[in-house]
Structure 1
Amino acid sequence: MDDLSIDLAGTALVLIDLQNGNMARELAPYSAQAVLGNCVLLAQEMRNRGGMVVFVRVLMNELQSPPADAPLRAPGSPPPPPDASHFAPEAGVEATDIVITKRQWGAFYGTELDQLLRRRHVKTLILAGIVTNIGVESTARAAYDRGYSLVFAEDAMSGITAEAHEFACKNMFRMMGKVRTTAELIDALQAGTGEA
Structure 2
Amino acid sequence: MFSHFSKYTVPQPHKSALITIDLQNDFVLPGAPAEGVGAASAASVTGKVAQFYRERQLPIIHVIRIYSLENNAESVDICRREAVQDGLKLVLSGTEGMQPVSQIIPEGIVADAELLCAGQVQRISATESILYKPRWGCFYKTCLDDLLTQLGVTTVAIAGTWFANCVRTTIYEAAAHDYRVVALRDAIAGIHSDAENDLSKIECGVCDANAWLELIR
Tell me if both proteins adopt one fold, taking TM over 0.5 as the criterion.
yes
Residue of structure 2 equivalent to 1:181: 208
CA RMSD of aligned residues (A): 2.4
Q: Secondary structure at the match of 2:201?
A: helix
CA shift for structure 1 position 175: 2.3
Counterpart of 2:16 in structure 1 is 11
Match of 2:76 among 64, 88, 91: 64
1:47-62 alignment, distance < 5 Å: 47-61=54-68
Partner in structure 1 of residue 171 of structure 2: 140
Maintained 8 Å contact 1:126/1:150: yes
Q: How far apart are the structure 2 equivalents of 1:126 and 1:151? A: 5
Q: Which consecutive unaligned segments of at least 5 residues does structure 2 have?
A: 4-9, 110-123
8 Å CA contact 1:169–1:179 kept in 2: the answer is no
Deviation per residue, 1:26-77 (Å, 9 max, x gap):
434x3x22111110111111122221111010113454333x5xx6974735
Residue equivalent to 2:197: 171
Tell me the distance in 2 between the aligned counterparts of 1:73 and 1:187.
45
CA contact (8 A) 1:38 1:156 kept: yes
Maintained 8 Å contact 1:133/1:168: no
One-letter identity of the residue aligned with 2:88 = P
Mean Cα displacement is larger for which, 108-117 or 169-178? 169-178
* TM-score relative to the length of structure 2: 0.73
Counterpart of 1:153 in structure 2: which amino acid?
Answer: L
Higher relative contact order (CA 8 A, sep 6+): 1
Alignment map for 1:113-128 (pairs within 5 Å)? 113-128=144-159
- Paired residue total: 179
Does residue 1:27 correspond to 2:36, yes or no? yes
Name the amino acid aligned to 2:52.
E
Distance 1:74 1:122 in 2: 38
TM-score by structure 1 length?
Answer: 0.80
Q: Describe the SS at the equivalent of 1:60.
A: coil
